[in-house]
Structure 1
Amino acid sequence: MRGEYMGSLVQLENVTKVIKGRTVLSQVTGTFGRNQITGIRGENGSGKTMLLRGISGLIKTDGRILFDGKEQLANGKFAQNMGILIERPGFLNEFTGYKNLELLALLDRKKREIGDEIKKTLELVGLDPNDKRKFGKYSLGMKQRLGIAQAIIFKPDVILLDEPTNAIDEGGVEELINLLLKLRQQETTLIVASHDSSFLQKIADVTFVMKNGVLSEGEA
């Protein structure tokens, strides 16, 4: 186990989700260590995206989801201080990447004066903070990079990333690996879902396997 283990931060107890009679999450139980990178490996439709949506509070689930031993997600409420990249980020096409992040900061008075942080974060994910192109003109890879930027910019305690390597070239994937390992060193807890086993092997301290809505232990 590569990261320094400091106990469980996120705990799942019999988390279940049924949609139109179909069980998409089946009594999922597991713990995700503090200040670690936990990988969830699974193919499309395996349930890994739905699990991240449940952990984040985007959907209601049966069972229990706890943070630091406290059930903070009752009734679909969001956990505090969490960065999320799940499916397609909802950015505004008519604004630049910088402006989109600036608008997110305006939603929280405490985070409004973060111009320098926006620039640093865009550079971290391989985007030019001075790029005047609108988001609608971004390539798929650029859109994915901006999605990662919005997940990490406010330095959350927990970061959830769903298929973060989508549309990113080989060089960009290596940059992403270095970024995630750096975030872990900064005492951030990351849960990363991906179908790419080689990518997860490079970053994850612990790996789970997701199949047909069931979570099981995988290789470290």
Structure 2
Amino acid sequence: MDTILSIKKLNKRYGKIHAVKDVSLEIQKGNVYGILGPNGSGKSTTLGIVLNVVNKTSGDFEWFEGKLSTHDALKKVGAIIERPNFYPYMTAEENLKLVCKIKNISFDKVIEKLELVGLLDRKDSKFKTFSLGMKQRLAIASALLNDPEILILDEPTNGLDPQGIRQIRDLIKIIANQGTTILLASHLLDEVEKVCTHVIVLRNGVSLYQGLVDEMLANNGFFELQSEHLDALIKVISNLEAVDKIEVKDGKALVYLKAPLEAGELNQYLFHQNIVLTHLSKRKISLEEQFLKLTN
């Protein structure tokens, strides 16, 4: 699989603040990557460095396996890292044609991209009349005019209403299905879980996890258990090899697993140990719980 972007031991300092600390990652063609982390975690700084708008302190990055200089490589990159900035009294089509002139791109793609982002019927409307979600979709159309190999988005749904969020997420899926690699930064767990194939978790500039979203969610889960004899339940269940740890919360035993264990198997075992359950529920550890576990 082709490597579009490779980052090795990247660092960025702002005085005493170490914004990015030894971050390494690889972006492979054809995937949707989410850089996930709270505000101030180093997501935007990392994107700014690879887009040549922020100077690195140390470390390396290369585009397209070093076959192109950064200047030439960025011609194959589409990016939105700030709020959409177009001329308010120009129409959507006029604004995109202006972008084409600046980037020396043919006008041929303007109508195609307006249709892709669902704004073809508003091509003659002035930018100032657009909602925030429409402005964001126009910005995505602008970033796609050169048919980039990778689209980079920084907090693409920030500030949007639920309908606008859904439209942007659906659009990201459509673009990805057409073969464009996507790298987006977000602090929204739901966003990463719904649109990304891979996730990189950052906290205070440090990479805590990298891998498939499905792998992060593919855990053995945990049981919620209740019994009139909770202490005896905990004592008995502690002897099971599949059990990793036990927590008590709101009168329930939360039994976290390190190996597969089925609910029926557990219930039968406890019954034979004279423990009768009044509540049994098996749950997967959500992306939110995994994220909080990592970042805490």
Contact persistence 2:93–2:110 (CA under 8 A): yes
- Identity of matched residues, %: 30
Q: How many residues align?
A: 211
User: For residue 20 of structure 1, what is the amino acid of its counterpart?
Assistant: G
Structure 2 matches for 1:8-19, cutoff 5 A? 8-19=3-14
Quote the residue 1:136 is aligned against. 128
- 1:122 is displaced (CA, Å) by 2.1
CA separation of 1:161 and 1:143: change in aligned 2, threshold 3 A: same
Gaps of 5+ in 2: 214-296
Quote the residue 2:261 is aligned against. none
CA distance in 1, matches of 2:153, 2:208: 19
CA separation of 1:156 and 1:127: change in aligned 2, threshold 3 A: same
Contact persistence 2:3–2:27 (CA under 8 A): yes
CA offsets per residue over residues 40-93 of structure 1, 9 Å max, x none?
11122211111111121222212111123218566x886231000102133222
Coordinate RMSD, CA, aligned: 2.4
CA distance in 2, matches of 1:163, 1:27: 23
Taking structure 2 as the reference length, the TM-score comes to 0.64
CA distance in 1, matches of 2:27, 2:60: 14
- 1:203 is displaced (CA, Å) by 1.5
Asked which structure has the greater RCO (Cα within 8 Å, sep 6+), the reply is 1
Quote the residue 1:107 is aligned against. 102
Contact persistence 1:81–1:156 (CA under 8 A): yes
Contact persistence 2:81–2:154 (CA under 8 A): yes
CA separation of 1:77 and 1:213: change in aligned 2, threshold 3 A: farther
CA separation of 1:72 and 1:18: change in aligned 2, threshold 3 A: farther
Which of 56, 60, 68 is the equivalent residue of 1:64?
A: 60
1:34 has 2:29 as partner: yes
User: For residue 196 of structure 1, what is the amino acid of its counterpart?
Assistant: L
CA distance in 2, matches of 1:176, 1:206: 18
User: For residue 52 of structure 2, what is the amino acid of its counterpart?
Assistant: G
Gaps of 5+ in 1: 1-5
Which of 166, 173, 180 is the equivalent residue of 2:165?
A: 173
1:127 has 2:119 as partner: yes
Taking structure 1 as the reference length, the TM-score comes to 0.84
Contact persistence 1:144–1:167 (CA under 8 A): no
Larger Rg: 2
